[in-house]
Structure 1
Amino acid sequence: MSVATMSDTGSSNKKAALKGLYDDLYAKNMFPFWATSEGVDHDEIKQLMATPKAVPFVWKYTDIEPLLQRAAQLVTMDDSERRSLILVNPGLAPKRASVSTMYTAYRLNDPDEIMPPHKHSPSAIRFGLTGEGNFTGVEGEDVTFGPGDMVLTPNDAWHNHGTVGGEQAVNLSILDLPLVETLHAVHFDHRYTEMENGKEVEKKVQTARFTDDYSQSVYGEGGMLPRFVDHKRGGGLSSPMYVYRWEKMEALLDAHKDWDGDPHEGLVVDYADPTTGGPVFQTINFYVQMLRPGEKTLPQRETASLLLSPFRGKGHSIIDGERYDWDQFDTLAVPGGCWVEHVNASSSEPVIFFGATDAPTQKHLLLYKRWGRNQAGDLLRLA
């Protein structure tokens, strides 16, 4: 037998043996993490990295709102305590996630619908879009909120949702449920009780224990923190300021609209825990971003994933070289690692985004990074 023939036979035997090894590994629910010589039909590095990934995407409010109305006609609070539309990223479907760690959901309540209290380990917010009578009761503080107001429903805090005032109202929710689900830490509790005459009694409505303006009266003045209240409401797992009013945010943006801002972001204001100055939740945080008329941001890329909803204005974003147009109340998914720039093409009206980011989780784990490019196209390390 020639040397060439012996070599071919050895190669065939090795391929057959490798195939048998792979088959046995997969049959026993194992994965081979190595790369072999060319000619083998396995590339374990690519296979390991080929997990489902979120993609840039825009959900249009013009599609969402009619579906909310149809759902309100067909699904009552007697049918279900929840009636929300969760935005599912096409790259992650069927997983309930708008980006890998968060999801956005839109909720419409008919006049004076109130659901019973519940609590859960995922942290969530509600952001008002339409109507003045959005309602959330959280840990004994009854909050009625309108467009631009943000209400926290923290990890393990009892809360319920609905509307008051006799009109429909729409809000959007953002939760870290996909992250908590990945960590196998999701729990829900629907049995709400209070003590009455020394006995535990199941209740359908929380008894108010705080005034309805408590969050603003205690925490609404930046830089001043009362000592005479307990700041560990709801277990102390989040900001104790449960509602952030739009009028405060709008006044701050208006006062600084002529500042230079950040060329990669425009003007950004983070929502903060008034007791720490840090994010409102330990896993995700929220912010408002304003692009002045005609403003275009320079490209930037960060490891954090973002969800952006244009609260005012319309425009487009360039994400990894592709254009995505958006309008008021849409939701834009910007997965971590994408290059993005935003454009406000209006010569007279600002764009205001309501945004969510999983940067707090990444910063806790020392994984967060951010890059940008200058006008010349040079790469910059920003964080």
Structure 2
Amino acid sequence: MTQPSSTPEQRKDFYDRLAPQNLAPLWEVLRGLLPNEPKSKAAPHRWRYSDIRPLLMESGRLLTAQEAERRVLVLENPNFAGMSRATSTMYAGIQLIMPGETAPAHRHTPSALRFMLEGEGAFTAVGGERTTMRRGDFIITPSWAFHDHGNEGSDPCAWLDGLDLPLVSFFEAGFNEHYNDERQSIVRPEGDALARFGSGMLPLAPVERYGQTTPIFNYPYERTRAALVAAAKGEGPDAHEAVSLRYANPIDGGWAMPTMSAWMMHLPKGFETAPMRSTDGIVMALGEGALTAKIGDRSFDLTERDVAVTPGWTWRSFKATQDSFLFCFSDRVAQEKLGLWREERGPAH
């Protein structure tokens, strides 16, 4: 080993003279900047819908949708208190719309997704077209598209919100604008986007209505579930992914959104996946069934509508106690575009 070329006192004196110049020695922080492998700051966590729902309904009595603009209980990761993060890069929350209410129209640069949890009669309008929201539906709000929500039914409606807010905030690229009315003008009939782009056919000259985001903004659960069940009959479940299908952009076949990947996993009753991990932190909502999720060194029982998070580069596996359908979203697509995404698969059972 070489002998130190300077004393601790000399180095401290040097560092003290760097600070006023807004300089810092890389060699003192290099190991923290370049770890041998990722170590997420997020914690594995589960939110029980049975615990959330009474508080959600109480919020509905405390303030109107107009007062709140968006009446949402943010799902905060325990390691990111006050930071509106479910994972290191993803925001998640549970939004409530009471009967007769409208969440006013606005638009913003962060992209948003919805996974319908409860109620009948809610709708979302995007870019001049509205869609009815039914349980298990995957609904998209593209970046900078005007959107509003309403509830024309008789029961409260609630859904999981997912946004790339932390990513947009990191880039300091957030914009927000309100519409000139509570609800936007409807210029296309309901179902237009699904008919044009979601039926295995495309217009002869398909137009990218929302840039890199899919022109379909509602992927109905009825279709998703049927596809997963049929796929499970065609081939046995994958050892690590069970039966998983991703929501795709019909224009290019890629992920449905440019910054957030979304997919659904079907686990037949009794099936247990082998452990795997990937660099994307994942938000999961159980749409149907019951399962046990092992995330890192923790184990969570999930029932319908429960939400859980897997931090990046954390081992995960699932065991279904009922036929289960698990909705997932993460920043995988953004990592893939940057050449950063990796996964590792443990031995199969």
TM-score w.r.t. length of structure 1: 0.84
Match of 1:90 in 2: 78
Question: Paired residue for 2:325, among 333, 347, 352?
Answer: 352
Q: How does 1:210-289 map to 2 (within 5 A)?
A: 210-222=188-200, 224-227=201-204, 231-234=207-210, 236-258=211-233, 259-289=235-265
User: Which one-letter code corresponds to 2:90 in the other structure?
Assistant: M
**1:34 paired to 2:22:** no
**1:232 Cα deviation from its structure 2 partner:** 2.5
**1:115 Cα deviation from its structure 2 partner:** 2.1
Unpaired segments ≥5 residues, structure 1? 1-6, 36-42, 193-201, 377-383
Structure 1 or 2, whichever has the larger Rg, is: 1
Residues 313-360 of structure 1: per-residue CA shift (max 9 Å, x gap): 22222222322232221111111111111111x2xx211101002111
| Separation of aligned partners in 2, 1:269 and 1:160 | 28
Q: Identical aligned pairs, as a percentage?
A: 33
CA gap 1:219/1:46 in 2 versus in 1, 3 angstroms: closer
SS in structure 1 opposite 2:11?
Answer: helix
TM-score w.r.t. length of structure 2: 0.92
Higher relative contact order (CA 8 A, sep 6+): 2
| Separation of aligned partners in 2, 1:32 and 1:211 | 61
**1:145 Cα deviation from its structure 2 partner:** 1.1
| Separation of aligned partners in 2, 1:98 and 1:336 | 12
CA contact (8 A) 1:149 1:245 kept: yes
Residues 118-164 of structure 1: per-residue CA shift (max 9 Å, x gap): 10011001111111212111000011111011111100111111211
**1:203 paired to 2:181:** yes
Match of 2:12 in 1: 19
Residues 260-295 of structure 1: per-residue CA shift (max 9 Å, x gap): 121001000100011111111111111110111111
SS in structure 1 opposite 2:166?
Answer: helix
**1:110 Cα deviation from its structure 2 partner:** 0.7
| Separation of aligned partners in 2, 1:155 and 1:365 | 19
Q: CA RMSD in A?
A: 2.2
CA contact (8 A) 2:40 2:311 kept: no
SS in structure 2 opposite 1:356?
Answer: strand
Question: Paired residue for 1:161, among 127, 143, 149?
Answer: 149
CA gap 1:290/1:26 in 2 versus in 1, 3 angstroms: farther
Match of 2:345 in 1: 372
**1:44 Cα deviation from its structure 2 partner:** 5.6
Match of 2:128 in 1: 140
Residues 24-70 of structure 1: per-residue CA shift (max 9 Å, x gap): 444554432214xxxxxxx6624886998111111121221111111
CA gap 1:47/1:31 in 2 versus in 1, 3 angstroms: farther
